[in-house]
Structure formats: C-alpha cells, structure tokens
Structure 1
Amino acid sequence: MINVGSKGYKALLLGCSMLIASCAPQLNVDDQLDMVATPASWQSADIVSVDDQLSWLSNDSDMADLTEIVTKALDNNPDLRISANRLRTSLAQQSITDGARSITGDLTLGASRNGDFESGTPDNQNFSLRGGLAWEADIWGRLASNSASAEQSVRATKNDLDYARMSLATRTAQRYFDVIEAVMQVALLEQNLEKLLQAQDLVDRRYDRGIADVLDMLQIQTNVATAKSNLANQQQTVIQRMRTLEVLIGSYPSGKADGDLTLPSLDTLMNTGIPTNLLEKRPDIMAAKNRVLAANYNLESAKKALYPSLRVSGSTSMSGSEISDIADIDELVWSVVGNMVQPILDGTRRRSQVVINEVALDTSLANYLKTVLNAYQETENALTAEMTLAEQERHLTIAVDRAVYSEERALDQYSKGLVDILSLVNVQRNRISSQQSLLRVKYRRLLNRADLHLALGGENLETYINQMTGTNEPVNNQGSL
C-alpha cells in the first residue's frame, strides 16, 4: 500500500499505468460501424415508392382470426417469454453495476458470553455494535464506463425483445398461411377427384357401349386412385401444419383446422423506403450496434483498471458489558481510511483482461457487420422475389384459365371419340398442376411479403398486426410483458 501523500510514488505509478494502457492498439468504433457502403437505393428495379406506408394485406381481406392468433402467440409463446426475462435480468444487472458507484455500508450487532463449566455461571459478557461505509472515487471514469456498458446492454436486450416480437408476429402469420394453403390444396384435390370421377363415369359408359378400350378404363382408374392418395396425403399435411401453428401460439396441438379458409389478397407494394432507413429501423441491427458500444465501454474500463484506484472507508464501533453501553455516544470509536492502490505484480491479469476486451470488441464489430449485410441481403432477396412471384402469378393465372378450358374441350371431344384417353388424361393433369402451382405462388407471395415487411424493420407492433389483418382497430397485447 502506498501513502496518498507520497507525490513521487504517485507520479511514478501514474506514469507506468499510462504507459501500460497506451501499449494496447486502438480501434475507431465510429469508422468500424460505417464499414458497410450503403447504396442510395435498393438494387431491385421496378419497385415504385409513392407513399410512406407499407401496404400489407388488402383492406377487403377477411382475416379477423389472424389478429386473435397473433395476439395469442405474443401472450403465450415460450420463446418470447424467455426474451422478456432476459430484459428483466439485464435491467437488474444494470442496477448492480450502477450500485458500484454508490456508497456501501453495513451494520453488525454482536453479543457474547463466556464462563467455566465448574461454576456454571458466566464470567463476563460483551455487546458490540459496528458499522462501516466504503466508497471508491471514480478518478479515471472506470465505474462510469461500466455503467455505460450496462446501459448499452439493456438497450441491446430491449431491441432483441422488440425484434423477437416482430419476428414472432411474422412467423405466426406465415404459419397461419401455411395452414390456409394446405386447406386450399385439399379443396383443389377434392375438386380434381370429382372431375376425375366424372371422366371415369364417361369412360365407363363408353366402355359399356363397346366404344372405349379396357386400357381407357385402367388408365382412368389409375388416375382416380392416385388422386385419392394425393388427397389423403394433403389432409395429413393440414394436420401437421395446424399442429405447428398451435404449438407456436402456446395451444395444445390438436391438428383441427377450419376447412373453409382462403388466402387473403395483397395490395400493390407501394413503398420500401431507402437503404439508410434500414439501419435505423431494424431492432436486430440496433441491438448489434449497442453491443459494439457496450464492448467499447468494457474495453475502456479494462484499460482504466490499469490506473491507481482510490478507496475511502470509514467505520464506527461501540462495545460494553451491558446492552445500554452500545447506545452511549461516549463509547463511540470511529476511523476513516483512504487508500490509493496501484497493482504492480498481478500475473498480467489486468493486461490480459484488456486483450480479452479488445477481442470482444472486434468480435462485436464483426457481428454488427454480419447483421447489416444479412439485413441487406434479406431485403434485396425479398424485393426481387416480390417482382418475380407477381409475374409468375400473372402467367399462371392465364395458364389455369387455358387449362380449365382445354379440359372442357377434351372431355367433349373424348365423348365424341375425337381424342384418345391419353390426351384427356394429360389435359387433366395439366389443369390440376396449373391450379396447384398458382395457389403455391399466391401463398409464396404472402410469405415473401411478410419476410419483406420484417426485413425492412416493420412498424410498431400494433400497426404491424393491423397491416397483416387489413384492419385499423387497436390491438391490446403484451400487457403481461
């Protein structure tokens, strides 16, 4: 321990501390956070920006159930509950860190009696009351750096929770669309089976009249059996997807789905903002940035730990043979001690801690870069898919129209003996294939629009749910969090 009044020692220790700290390489955090060159506009073309509001589902979409489902997920999902608990833990940790800058104290009350076994009576007794206070002067700002780091960690955890809520809302909507698409595929396969049975009836009548060959009967029977098998398989898909949704929203996985469901329609994508807004809106990017700042404060704290520390402590004590003695002010004994401590030999522990925090800062910067690049990739991919899927839907709509008409003509011509069974079968296969493909594209467009909304940072949670459901009514959720 070095006396506070020893100016020569103080100067020497301060110089050594600053020399040690200056040996560590320096990182410019601001420059590192700007290491991604942001383009002036999104690279995907033909996206027209004319409004500040990102449309979601068409206002005429009947999706009243979706609000209830998403809200239930936000209330019951276990993963979201875990994220909320992480925030509570982070807030408590911040309070602990901030407490290190405050005065700490304790109070101890003691009593003792002693004697010998022969007499069985006590020789003497003693009562004591001791109190102590301690405080560390934050000369170099090390404790302030610790508090700033804890604050940034809380902000990062809060952003994690915001992103978890937004992601959960998106995933819940997508899993609901999974169920709807599977239900609609069942309806298509049922319609297809009905048409095949009509064709089979036509083939049977022609066969009974001796016009059709037995191969015609075998071919149509094969197609009917295959259609029944595909229908059973699709019904199993509905059950599995419904159970996935039920687990997501915290319900028992019964697998029971409403058979009268249809996919909602989509409004035209009006606005996607500009790339620089992405860095300000996405909670996961903000969380990564806050963790960089927290790591930088931790590094500052580790470097400042190389400097001398000043601790001031005081204590009081009173004791006596009677309990009234510890309330007598005349018996009070007090002391105040100030210590300035400079570690000299610590096995390079503090210098190694500086290296550890430098590595942690560099890692957090790399994670930030990765998060930003992934966000840009997700957005560009979703924007590209928005255009290509819309074009596929236009072409497939035409294909389905032509395929339905071709089937009607083929049935008529087969009944007149103008085409063979293979031509009829191929036309029917093309029709169901086109119908299923069109349904899948509409479904994929909904999934992609949800991904795009999430990639662009979305809106606040209430607006986000309303956009998904096409309503403007306020949603009450997350009251428990």
Structure 2
Amino acid sequence: MAYSSPLRYSVLALTLVTLIGCSNTAVDYQHNADLARTAVTDWQYEQQDAVELTQLTQLIAMPKLTSLVEQAILQNPSLQQTAITLQIAYAQRGVTTSGRIPQVNAGFNAETNEESDNYQADVSVSWELDLWQKISDEVQAADMDIANEQAVYQGARDALAANIMRSWLQINLQQQLITIETSRLAVLENNERFILSRYRSGLGALEELDNARTSSAQTRATLVDKQETLAQNQRNLGLLLGQTTAIEANSEFPTVLQPLASLPDQDLARRPDLQAAYAAISAAQYRTDVAYKALLPSISLSASLTDIANSPSEALFTSPAWSLLGQLTAPIFQGGKLRSQIDIAELNTEKAYWAYQERLLTAVNEVDNALGQEKSLARQQLHLNDALTSAKRSEANYQTKYRQGLVDILDLLTVQQQTFDLQSQLTQATYNRLVNRIDLGLALGLGITTDNAGETS
C-alpha cells in the first residue's frame, strides 16, 4: 500500500507532535503516590507488650472463631457480590484483549426472484494493527482494574473477619453486663426485703420502701433491655455468617493481642484500600495514554471471501473470490472530541491520585488514633480498677452503718449503684480496648488469607 510523500510527511509530523505533547504533559502520579507513602517515617505513639503478627485471626487464638470466619467467607452475601464483581473485571479484560486478535465473520444470504435463485456466502477477516500499543495500554488498564477489584475483595474479606470478631466480643460484653445487672437486682431486692421487714417492725419509713422498689423496677427494665440487645447481637453475628440462626458465645472476653506497628511504609503498603487506590491511579494513567494515542493514525487490514451461485452447495465457496484491503486512517477534525477525551482522562488520573492521598491520610490517622486509644484505654482500666476497689470498701461500710441506723437508705443505694456502675464501666472499657486492637490490626493492614485447602489463616 502506497501513498504520496506529502501525506506521508504529514502523518509523520502529526505522530511526532502528538508523541512530544504526550511526553510533556504526562505526570507520573504513581511515583508521586509512592513518595507520599514513604514520607510517613514513624508513628506518633510507642507501644508496650505488642506482638508482631501477620494475620487478623492471630489476634484471637480461638479455633471456633476462626471457623466462623471461614464460614462467613463462603456464605456472606455481601462478600459473594464483591467476589462476582472481581470475576466481571476478569471477563472485561477478556473483552479488551480480544482487540488484539483478528475478527472473523461469516454470512449466508438467499435471494429468490421470478427468473432465478441466487445464493451468496461470504467470510470476512479484519484486524487493526496495534501500531502504537494502544490496545496493549487498554489491556494494561484492564489488568489494573483487576488489581483494584482484587484489593477491594481482600479488604471486604478483612472487614468481614474483623466484624465477626467484634460481634463475638459484643456478645461477651452484653453477657457480662447482664451478669452485673442481675447481681445489682439481687442486691436491690435483698434491700427491699430488709426494708419491708423493718417497716413492718415499725423501724423504717414508707419512703424508704418506695425508693428501694423504684431502684429494683428500674434495674429490671435495664436488664430486659440488655437481654434483648444480647439476642440482637447473636442474630447479627448469624447474619454475618449468611444465616438466620443466632450464634452463642462465651461470656468471658478472650485474649486479644496487641499487633506491633512497625515501619509505616511496610504497614501502609499492605493495606488493601491503599493497594486499590494505587491500582486505580495506574489504570487511569494507562487510559490517559490511550486517549493520547487516539490522535495517531491507525492501520487496519481486512480480507473477504465471497461466492455467488445458483444453489446453496455451489455458494459454499466452490469458486470464491478473494479481496484484500489495507486502510490507513488518521483523525483530522472531530470538533475537539479527542482533545476533550484527553482532558477527561487526565483529570480522572489526577482525581484518582487525590483519592489515594485522601485514603493515605485516613490510614495514617487510623493507625495513630488506634495507638493513642490503646494507651488511653489502658490508663482508664487502671483508674477504674482503683475506683472499683474503693467503692466496694465503701459499700461494705455503708451496709454496716445502715443496719446500725447510722445512714439512710438513699445513701446506701447511692453507694451500691456506684459500685455496679463502676463494674459496668470497667467491663465496657475492657471491651473497647479489645475492639481497638482489632481496629489497629486492620489499620496496620493485617488481613486473612486462604490456602489451597480453603482454610483461613
């Protein structure tokens, strides 16, 4: 295929101008993202008694809990939808890759008139040469889409495992709070009986009996509320597993290890959300290259095999006619459409970069917050333990003084309520600290992996 020298020079000039423009305007956002991540050199808080871990399930060494995580990975509806989205990304890559392969189409046509019957069979082959690696860039962008969806799926798995662990601890918490409220109610009912006995003996006032009954009734209402909350938490855990059956758990908190925060670059690099955001930048940059290369000329080849005959058997390529065509096309004027598409692609790439920046800042903030919470909650537990020890001594003293008639019932009820309130606060603080360690594990990029046998680690 030949064309005139002026046309050849025009095409070459257009090619050079476009390539030069592409190289001058492109910004390496991936490199900038790497610099932003490595700029974080240390965390704000130091740790004590932290353990180096690689998996979320190592935080709580409980085979039953690990088994629930494995079940959820197979049955959780939301996670399965995310897995299907990943499969769609793989299929979409197949569609993109097909552009590299010649396209073959076949047809058969029959026409009948008064004089004769005509039959026509044809086979056409078309192929666009990937002269500027445009299709290769589209395939690379599809690969980055797959990497993005893989990271999203991994993040969904990690979040699901963390939610199951949190739900387990929530059930532990509610059972312990129910135990505390049950003990509170037993003490209040015992007070009520003692006051009633004194009242019948003429030693107490009716107001004391009413105050005692008020406290008992209020505690019963609280107890009913916490029992329903426990039932809801058990059902919610079952929902995470993809079932409607409530899941029971032990009342005692399990041991939850504190994960070690090492170098920020290592911790942040293994976070699925940052991996997904990084892949999105790469995909957008490849699509920007595709938009630039749309300005370049394209070469396509096509061949057709055609035969016309008076019968179907003769039309099936008894004496076919071949035709071969080569075509060179170059965009000249499209009303600024291609340039606008380049602008859109570049803006999408920049947007993906800033989305990565936002995710990076959030990730650093999550780690620092979790490390700070670990220290704060540890101090809270220490102070609450001291307060509870003092409250128990005070309660014993007030109990003795009340029986001796030295204090009234309101003073005793106040001290007793304070003791049980402190027990509840200490239990809640313990729960908060254990859940915070799970949050810290997620923030540090700890996840779950599945081996070939389907076991989760």
Using structure 2 for the length normalisation, give the TM-score: 0.92
Q: Distance in 2 between matches of 1:259 and 1:414?
A: 40
Give the Å deviation of 1:54: 7.2
One of 427, 431, 447 as aligned partner of 2:415: 427
Q: How does 1:8-407 map to 2 (within 5 A)?
A: 8-20=6-18, 22-23=20-21, 25-33=25-33, 34-36=35-37, 38-47=39-48, 51=52, 56-57=58-59, 59=61, 63-115=62-114, 123-252=115-244, 258=248, 261-267=251-257, 269=258, 271-327=260-316, 329=318, 331-407=319-395
For residues 380-426 of structure 1, the C-alpha deviation after alignment (integer angstroms, 9 at most, x for no partner) is 11111111112212222232233233323322221122322222111
Give the Å deviation of 1:40: 2.5
Give the Å deviation of 1:441: 0.9
Relative to 1, partners in 2 of residues 1:291 and 1:337: Cα closer, same or farther, differing over 3 Å?
A: same
Give the Å deviation of 1:378: 0.9
CA contact (8 A) 2:55 2:448 kept: no
Give the Å deviation of 1:39: 3.0
The percent identity for this pair of structures is: 26
- Taking only aligned residues, the RMSD between alpha carbons, in angstroms, comes to 2.4
CA contact (8 A) 2:267 2:445 kept: yes
Give the Å deviation of 1:29: 2.0
Specify the code of the residue in structure 2 equivalent to 1:214: L
Q: How many residues align?
A: 452
For residues 229-251 of structure 1, the C-alpha deviation after alignment (integer angstroms, 9 at most, x for no partner) is 11122222223333333333222
Q: Distance in 2 between matches of 1:213 and 1:342?
A: 102
Specify the code of the residue in structure 2 equivalent to 1:366: W
Relative to 1, partners in 2 of residues 1:58 and 1:319: Cα closer, same or farther, differing over 3 Å?
A: closer
One of 435, 444, 447 as aligned partner of 1:456: 444
CA contact (8 A) 1:14 1:308 kept: no
Relative to 1, partners in 2 of residues 1:22 and 1:352: Cα closer, same or farther, differing over 3 Å?
A: farther
Give the Å deviation of 1:286: 0.7
Aligned residue for 2:191, secondary structure, equals helix
CA contact (8 A) 1:48 1:270 kept: no
Q: Distance in 2 between matches of 1:259 and 1:137?
A: 63
Give the Å deviation of 1:288: 0.6
CA contact (8 A) 2:102 2:127 kept: yes
Q: Distance in 1 between matches of 2:2 and 2:392?
A: 95
Q: Distance in 2 between matches of 1:244 and 1:139?
A: 56
Q: Distance in 1 between matches of 2:179 and 2:49?
A: 36
CA contact (8 A) 2:104 2:123 kept: yes
Relative to 1, partners in 2 of residues 1:423 and 1:127: Cα closer, same or farther, differing over 3 Å?
A: same
Aligned residue for 1:347, secondary structure, equals coil
Using structure 1 for the length normalisation, give the TM-score: 0.87
Relative to 1, partners in 2 of residues 1:77 and 1:306: Cα closer, same or farther, differing over 3 Å?
A: same
In terms of mean alpha carbon deviation, does 143-152 or 397-406 score higher? 397-406
CA contact (8 A) 2:449 2:456 kept: no
Specify the code of the residue in structure 2 equivalent to 1:444: N
CA contact (8 A) 1:4 1:340 kept: no
Q: Distance in 1 between matches of 2:450 and 2:432?
A: 24
In terms of mean alpha carbon deviation, does 13-22 or 439-448 score higher? 13-22
Aligned to 1:6: 4
Specify the code of the residue in structure 2 equivalent to 1:210: G
Aligned residue for 1:461, secondary structure, equals coil
Aligned to 2:455: 476
Give the Å deviation of 1:212: 2.6
Give the Å deviation of 1:68: 3.5
Q: Distance in 2 between matches of 1:52 and 1:181?
A: 25
Specify the code of the residue in structure 2 equivalent to 1:262: E
CA contact (8 A) 1:49 1:273 kept: no
Q: Distance in 1 between matches of 2:423 and 2:345?
A: 58
Q: Distance in 2 between matches of 1:278 and 1:421?
A: 57
Specify the code of the residue in structure 2 equivalent to 1:476: E
Relative to 1, partners in 2 of residues 1:310 and 1:328: Cα closer, same or farther, differing over 3 Å?
A: closer
Which sections of structure 2, spanning at least 5 residues, go unmatched? none
Give the Å deviation of 1:207: 2.6
Q: Distance in 2 between matches of 1:18 and 1:203?
A: 99
Q: Distance in 2 between matches of 1:259 and 1:459?
A: 23
Specify the code of the residue in structure 2 equivalent to 1:104: Q
Which sections of structure 1, spanning at least 5 residues, go unmatched? 116-122, 464-473
For residues 285-324 of structure 1, the C-alpha deviation after alignment (integer angstroms, 9 at most, x for no partner) is 1111011000000000100110100111111112211333
